Chains A and B, each alone.
Chain A
Amino acid sequence: MHMRTDQLSATLQEPDVHRQLLGDYKGPYSLGIGRDPENPAAPAIILHVQDDPPLRPPPYIQIGPERVRVITRRGFVAPKPL
């Protein structure tokens, strides 16, 4: 069984999860729940970050008994109100 989206959603609000993924990164970012392209039935954490400074988040994060995949996408541009 995979972790449900609502369970994962709650964990995304925990500062410790952000610290584990982002370390000292101080740029704009977006952290949400999407699909693992290699296993579409499983939710994955999608992290968008800028190219600089270089960031190497872990490919998986342990949340309780679950190991959740982290997909990092670079080249993020800070969004603006449209």
Chain B
Amino acid sequence: MGVELKQAVEKLGDAAAQVFGHDERVRSLGVGRHGSGFAYVAVRNAALPVPLTASLSSLGDLQGIPVTFVDADRDPESLVKVPHSGPGSPAVSSLVPEQSHHRPLVCGLQLENVDDDLRTGIIAGGHIIVGTLGCFVTAGGQKAMLSNNHVLAGENRGQNAQDRILQQGTGQFSLAEHAGTLTQFVAIRPSPPGASPSLANAIFNDVDAAIANVRQGVASAQRYLSSRHGVVAPSGTAAAQVGDRVFKVGRTTGLTRGEITQVATIVGPIPYDPGPCWFQGTIVVEGEHGTMFSDHGDSGSAIVRNDGKVVGLLFAGNGQQTYGCPIDVVLQVLNCTIP
């Protein structure tokens, strides 16, 4: 049996001291549902080694309040920026297969612009910036990977025809990882601080999008990993309609499903490196049954109807709502098509 919410919250500080001291793998402690009441939920990184002498006996309860341990396989992190080695890095095994190295290249895989990460010095700081390969497009007769500007082109820093895109991306260039080269991106346009549509001084963006040509000799296929059983491959496009059931496959949350709850949406300001940005014409997706549809690192995922028609390109979110650019606008401004 759980306790009253107020009681659990009031004693959370004392409980944290005991739980974090009890097991050094614990990364968070909160209050969650427990039967008809509330209790503590501790999330720990079960992938971390523990000293042989450590005693990990169950805590049972704290002052009459039950503690439930939930095991995760990595530390919590802002997943668009991940360590390039060690625990939590893409190099270690993950429950999300899209974070690993795969050939042929398929939709949903993790990507990194290694040259932008080198330019910004983020690699020297032990991290890399990663996102998701949405799907393949044809541009100028070439096959290219579609994702966001902020994934492939470093929020306007990208060097077309030069920046090397890696899959999976580990912060170190190797030919085996070299999937393609940044080809084109749509510049993100910031608004002045304090700008607002009601003041008529917000600068609207239509898309956060970029493409990278697939390197010659690298195999690719317009489908998802074969381990994603029953997920239809992206095929063609459609205009999003409110009520459409959709899914996405991304490098962080893998396969998730949701519903389009809004179209033609104006949203902002969204913080980008060049400054606060407003977007228009976006589609809004909410995860089904209250689940999270996307998280950091899922940017660039294709938002796909259950019949395989691509309707959007995922670029932002807040945990409740996920925002996507309408795919037809993306393809138009990049002058490309989805085969």
Contacts and interface: CB of A to CB of B under 8 A. Distances in A.
A82 B265 contact: no
B294 A22 contact: no
Interface stretch (B69-77, B194-202, B217-225): B194-202
B271 interface: yes
Interface string A31-55: 1111100000001001010000000
Nearest to A19: B198
B262 A79 contact: no
Given A32-B262, A32-B266, A46-B261, A79 B243 contact: no
B80 A81 contact: yes
Given A9-B264, A13-B266, A28-B269, A82 B299 contact: yes
A79 B270 contact: yes
Contacts, number: 116
Contact of A5 (B263, B282, B297, B298): B263
B267 A33 contact: no
B116 interface: no
A30 B286 CA distance: 14
Contacts of A77: 318-320
B213 interface: no
B271 A33 contact: no
A18 B197 CA distance: 7
Interface of B: 80, 131, 148, 150, 155, 194, 196-200, 204, 208, 242-243, 261-272, 280-282, 284, 294-299, 314-323
Interface of A: 5, 8-9, 12-13, 15, 18-19, 22, 26, 28-35, 43, 46, 48, 76-82
25 contacts: A5-B263, A9-B263, A28-B270, A29-B268, A30-B267, A30-B284, A30-B323, A31-B266, A32-B262, A32-B264, A34-B242, A35-B242, A35-B243, A77-B320, A78-B269, A79-B270, A80-B271, A80-B296, A81-B150, A81-B155, A81-B316, A82-B294, A82-B298, A82-B314, A82-B315
